[in-house]
Structure 1
C-alpha cells in the first residue's frame, strides 16, 4: 500500500431530515445537508484532494452524491 493512502470516507444514508453523517474510519467528520457540505467537511479534515463525486475513497451509502431527500422540495419539476 502507498504511504499516502487516504482514509475510507463514508457518507451515510440520509436521516429523516435529509442530512447525512460523514465519517472517516472511526472518526465522525460532520453532518452534511448538501454535496457542498461534504466538500467543506473534507476540506476541514485536510482531505480536500479527494474528488467528492468520483473518488473510490468515498462510500456513498443509501444514495449517491445527488441524493439529498431533504432538498426534494427545491428540485421539483
Structure 2
C-alpha cells in the first residue's frame, strides 16, 4: 500500500503538529486551517475535507484533528 503524500505527525510536547509532504516540512500546524493553508501554499488541493481522505493524508500519533500536547 502506498503511503499518503501528506503526513500530519504526532503532537509535540509544546502543542502543534509538524506537517510534511513527501518528506518536505511545510510547517507546524495548530489547527486544521493551518494544514489547509500549508497545502494551498504547496500547490496541493486545499480542501478541509481532504484531511479525512486516507489516500491523501496520514495522521500519525494522537487523534486526527487534535493539535494539543499529549
| TM-score calculated relative to the size of structure 2 | 0.75
- For residue 61 of structure 2, what is the aligned residue in structure 1? 62
- State the SS of the aligned residue for 2:19: strand
Map 1:7-46 → 2, pairs under 5 A: 8-46=5-43
CA deviation digits over 1:20-76, x for unaligned, max 9?
110011211111011110011111101125612334211100134321225xxxxxx
Residues 35 and 65, structure 1, Cα contact 8 Å, conserved in 2:
no
Q: Which runs of 5+ in 1 are unaligned?
A: 1-6, 71-77
Give the 4+ runs in structure 1 shifted more than 3 A: none
Paired with 1:21 and 1:38, the residues of 2 have a C-alpha distance of 9
Residues 8 and 24, structure 1, Cα contact 8 Å, conserved in 2:
yes
* Bigger RCO (CA 8 Å, 6+ sep): 2
Q: Which runs of 5+ in 2 are unaligned?
A: none
Q: Which has more strand, going by share of residues?
A: 2
- For residue 74 of structure 1, what is the aligned residue in structure 2? none
